Chain A
């Protein structure tokens, strides 16, 4: 059973601090990794994708991938209350399907 694991949270972070969200996956053949954000009552929206080991930066967001450790993370710098949402990690597995984590709820405290 191919799995993606995330801490369900909630993760509470003060406004302006760095929020760190983590995800581990079991399928060593995975090639693509995605972070989606889902606001309460809304549908998931893609915020970052990463395919190679290392860091990928996009504005205040940085995705980090370590395939050897089967670990992918998302850092949000200068956290804002509008970042409060559930963050879903998704992994493109060797079975040609996206495998989803259950999500981490992030709360940014003003």
Chain B
């Protein structure tokens, strides 16, 4: 589909569970992103990593914890989530998040998360 893959594609978890989302990009990019997409709402940027360094954390609750071991892999660790956290979680990558206005983001297929 694209050069960005995400696993799992679907996840159902209880509020006391701990789970992790995985993203991998095969495009040689240096920036990776986590977005939350809820119905009829704009994409919400959660975290940005550029050259493995976290550059943005848009006031995301601590029950979401990102990890970026290298420029190709990105994880989102989840614990004690709430039902309102149910959404589509999208990973994206781009060449360099600081390169400015021409930097294009490419998205993975997303993980549909349901919190019971």
Per the bound structure, the CA–CA distance linking A46 and B93 in Å amounts to: 13
Q: Are B108 and A43 in contact (CB under 8 A)?
A: yes
| B2 proximity list for chain A (CB < 8 A) | 43, 45
Per the bound structure, the CA–CA distance linking A90 and B107 in Å amounts to: 14
- Min distance, Cβ A102 to any Cβ of chain B, angstroms: 5
Per the bound structure, the CA–CA distance linking A96 and B97 in Å amounts to: 8
Residue ID in chain A nearest B91 by CB atoms: A43
Chain A interface category by residue count: 20 to 34
| B109 proximity list for chain A (CB < 8 A) | 42-43
Q: Are B101 and A32 in contact (CB under 8 A)?
A: yes
Contact with A along B28-62 (1 / 0, CB 8 A): 00000000000011110100000000001000000
Per the bound structure, the CA–CA distance linking A42 and B110 in Å amounts to: 8
Contact with B along A24-46 (1 / 0, CB 8 A): 00000001101000000011111
A-B contact pairs, 13 of them (CB 8 A): A4-B42, A8-B40, A31-B100, A42-B109, A43-B107, A43-B108, A44-B107, A45-B2, A96-B97, A97-B56, A102-B40, A102-B42, A103-B42
Residue ranges of A at the interface with B (Cβ–Cβ < 8 Å): 4, 8, 31-32, 34, 42-46, 49, 51, 88, 90, 92, 96-103
